[in-house]
Structure 1
Amino acid sequence: MSCGVFPELNMAYNPSDHPRASTIFLSKSQNDVREKRKSLFINNHGTGRRKYSSCSTIFLDENTVSQPNLKYTIKCVALAIYYHIKNRDTNGGMLVEIFDEKLHPLTKSEVPLDYNQQDPEQKQIYRFVRTLFSAAQLTAECAIVTLVYLERLLTYAEIDICPGNWKRIVLGAILLASKVWDDQAVWNVDYCQILKDITVEDMNELERQFLELLQFNINVPSSVYAKYYFDLRSLSESNNLSFPLEPLSREKAQKLEAISRLCDDKYKDLRRAVRKRSASVENLSGSRWVPAILS
């Protein structure tokens, strides 16, 4: 795949852009939810007692995150990522290089040979996301924007999130979401203080290629945010998880859309440079450049 050159997308099915399109994570969770409910019914038949799904117990954690809303929102977002990985369309296969943990390891530890075969547990995903959010002091709203960017990447780039790339995809989504949403700027070098073995150059390249694969569309309409909020709440209810975060207020919705526009201006120069660089490739391939910001 060549960054900066993309086939025409069927945007009618892109949930990260359109409020009426169903989120991918919720649809991927449905089979598991039905199986759990069936199992509950069988186990409880004739007992007169209600048993709960064990899914929530995997998240039990004695540590306290700074905000209760943040803790439970991260649990739900981690569960959404888990379903993306577990119910992905392909098994293994080629990875986009910048997200490949074998080629770009996050630690100095040796990457196992089967690094792209073993699905992570929900608790592992939660701990990874929680560590970044806690150390960078990010908000619960930022976690939802992270999920929007993650699903947008998977749709635009037509890739799956899998055991060998999930950490770097999630990191890239968090990196971008933290710059779009949070008032307190988090620089790439700050993440290098959290992930001690990663370089600033690697972080910069991860951000650049993530943006290219998003076609520089970092706009998050409040209607799309609201859809992800309610679908995460549905996911939490299906898995007996708390989800206390309130929907966006009018003020926060206006802030989200205003910041999205400001960040779009910030990336215009980079977008123009990428378009100029890829122009000759476009002429050869016949592919059409899709506008960066969708109305």
Structure 2
Amino acid sequence: MGNQTSCCRCAAKPDRKNRKDVYKVPDGEVVIKEENNTNLQHISDRERPEDDEEDPSLHPTTSTMFLTRSLTVDGKRSTRHQHMNHVSSTGSLQKYSSCSTIFIDDSTVSQPNLKSTIKCVALAIFYHIKNREPDLRLLEIFDEKCHPLTKEPVPDDYKDHNPEHKHIYKFIRTLFNAAQLTAECAIVTLVYLERLLTYAEIDICPSNWKRIILGAILLASKVWDDQAVWNVDYCQILKDITVEDMNELERQFLELLQFNINVPSSVYAKYYFDLRSLADANDLNFPSEPLCKDRAQKLEAMSRISEDKFKDIVKSSLKRSASLDNIAPRRSAAILS
């Protein structure tokens, strides 16, 4: 977020004690309002509104919006498997472990599989669009008619046709491949998207889905990745969009999020496992391979390393406890043996 073409780049810190705010009134007169804020509250210290307790992008116990909408058909709750054919007509064959063969996948919460994660995120957005709330407001900054991504004319009926899952996946995959983004970034993108829908009280629909996804990816890549992609780089991917438009999209996206870009680890984990649940329900299984001897040895080695680290943590905590309380710790055979 420190690039020169980004509206998020760091600037000189203002004088908080004697701040002057400048406002422009309609007749062109400039009004300067002086404030004396000696005890300006940090954003992390502010009390959350009670409504935030129902925000799935902030609280790990609240169900994700996409999983709830994936269980909805014609505005009513349904079982997960009744609408599987709405997305995929050719499901992949499920691989099952047996006595002779064990199938495992390398996707974990900290290192998800990139292709599968993008497919799941695209599927989540598909259900957002398909089962969206009616009559919610639309914002111009996300309207593709007002801010087209290409020079090709936008069809007059662009608001009437829901995009297919494969079209959403292709759009996200193109951005991720060109910008070399990670699977973790895709999950954070979905978190920001749902937070936007909650905070701004809007919904994602055929007329705005591309620009909302673009804004979420733009912000997620800067927050998550150490080497962020510059706004001008996205203009190389989307040839017909200007850097000024990208900057304005980013600025308004941040304002609508109320600059709340924090993603707790518990919320991230919830979104990951809900995406896996969505994949299982729609035959989008994560790739799995038979457990061979080499992979089994690697897993065993990783397990031993983790076990040794755990033992070191327990021993160091016991030593600290003994030095503080002068009490000899009791060794537990279940932990230390």
Q: Normalising to structure 2: TM-score of the pair?
A: 0.61
Could you say which residue in structure 2 is the equivalent of 1:86? 130
Q: Is the Cα contact below 8 Å between 1:179 and 1:185 reproduced in 2? A: yes
The whole-number CA distance in structure 2 between the counterparts of 1:206 and 1:95 is 14
Corresponding residue to 1:75 among 119, 130, 143: 119
Corresponding residue to 2:209 among 150, 166, 175: 166
Letter in 1 for 2:192: Y
Structure with the largest fraction of helix: 1
Could you say which residue in structure 2 is the equivalent of 1:140? 183
The whole-number CA distance in structure 1 between the counterparts of 2:50 and 2:216 is 21
Could you say which residue in structure 1 is the equivalent of 2:71? 30
Letter in 2 for 1:71: K
The whole-number CA distance in structure 2 between the counterparts of 1:9 and 1:84 is 24
Q: How far did residue 69 of structure 1 move?
A: 1.4
Q: Is the Cα contact below 8 Å between 1:149 and 1:218 reproduced in 2? A: yes
User: Per the alignment, do residues 15 and 94 of structure 1 end up closer, same or farther by CA in structure 2, a change over 3 Å counting?
Assistant: closer
Write the mapping of 1:1-295 to structure 2, written as runs, cut at 5 A.
10-32=51-73, 34=78, 37-38=81-82, 53=85, 55-56=87-88, 69-90=113-134, 94-243=137-286
Q: Is the Cα contact below 8 Å between 1:59 and 1:123 reproduced in 2? A: no
> Which one has more relative contact order, counting CA pairs under 8 Å at least 6 apart?
1
Could you say which residue in structure 2 is the equivalent of 1:280? none
User: Per the alignment, do residues 157 and 94 of structure 1 end up closer, same or farther by CA in structure 2, a change over 3 Å counting?
Assistant: closer
The superposition leaves residues 5-59 of structure 1 with CA deviations (integer Å, 9 ceiling, x where unpaired) of xxx67112100011111100000001359467347xxxxxxxxxxxx85734579
The whole-number CA distance in structure 1 between the counterparts of 2:82 and 2:142 is 37
Q: How far did residue 77 of structure 1 move?
A: 0.1
Aligned-CA RMSD value: 2.4
The whole-number CA distance in structure 1 between the counterparts of 2:133 and 2:85 is 25
The whole-number CA distance in structure 1 between the counterparts of 2:258 and 2:82 is 42
Q: Is the Cα contact below 8 Å between 1:172 and 1:210 reproduced in 2? A: yes
User: Per the alignment, do residues 21 and 101 of structure 1 end up closer, same or farther by CA in structure 2, a change over 3 Å counting?
Assistant: same
- Look at both structures and tell me which one has the larger radius of gyration over its CA atoms: 2
Structure with the largest fraction of strand: 2
The whole-number CA distance in structure 1 between the counterparts of 2:141 and 2:50 is 22
Q: Is the Cα contact below 8 Å between 1:9 and 1:156 reproduced in 2? A: no
The superposition leaves residues 168-219 of structure 1 with CA deviations (integer Å, 9 ceiling, x where unpaired) of 0000000000001112220000000000000000000000000000000000
SS in structure 2 at match of 1:242: coil
Q: How far did residue 90 of structure 1 move?
A: 1.1
Q: Is the Cα contact below 8 Å between 2:137 and 2:203 reproduced in 1? A: no
The whole-number CA distance in structure 2 between the counterparts of 1:82 and 1:38 is 16
Q: How many residues align?
A: 219
Letter in 2 for 1:110: P
SS in structure 2 at match of 1:10: helix
SS in structure 2 at match of 1:231: helix
Unaligned runs of 5+ in 1: 1-7, 40-51, 61-66, 246-295
SS in structure 2 at match of 1:193: helix
Letter in 2 for 1:134: N
Percent of pairs with identical residues:
73
The whole-number CA distance in structure 1 between the counterparts of 2:81 and 2:67 is 16
User: Per the alignment, do residues 121 and 59 of structure 1 end up closer, same or farther by CA in structure 2, a change over 3 Å counting?
Assistant: farther
Q: Normalising to structure 1: TM-score of the pair?
A: 0.69
Q: Which moved more, 1:177-186 or 1:119-128?
A: 177-186
The whole-number CA distance in structure 1 between the counterparts of 2:229 and 2:116 is 22
SS in structure 2 at match of 1:124: helix
Q: How far did residue 94 of structure 1 move?
A: 4.5
